[in-house]
Amino acid sequence: MRASPFLLSKGLSSRSSLSVNTVWYAFTPTADVTLTADTSQSSYQAVVCVYTGSRGALNKVAYGLQQATFQATAGVTYHFMFADYLSSGGAGT
């Protein structure tokens, strides 16, 4: 199964003046399945957040540092946000 990227945003600033890079993906499973989004093999420290809904009305499903696991329902679109934080960058793998 492949997710498709739908948004890439860079340089979002928080109140603490930290720069956070995010990348978003969307995926709609065709069957009920347990999904894990895992970035532990990446050179980045990533926060993983999973949402349903639409822009401006997102509902958090799961989140975690380096990975998030949840029960996905067929036909529901899930939006995955990966946020790089507290790292000096890397190869982007």
Element (H, E) at 43: none
Q: What are phi and psi of 62, to 5 degrees?
A: -160, 155
Structure confidence by residue, pLDDT tens digits, 32-82: 999 999 988 877 778 999 999 988 899 999 999 889 999 999 999 999 999
pTM: predicted TM-score of the whole model, two decimal places: 0.72
Length of the chain: 93
Query: Is residue 36 included in any domain, yes or no?
Result: yes
Residue 16 sits in a domain whose CATH number is 2.60.40
Average pLDDT estimate for 7-16: 38
Element containing residue 40 per DSSP (H, E): none
Confirm whether 45 is domain-assigned. yes
Structurally, the chain folds into a number of domains equal to: 1
More confident residue, 41 or 89: 41
Domain that holds residue 11: 4-84
What contacts 7, CB < 8 A, 6 or more positions away? 23, 24
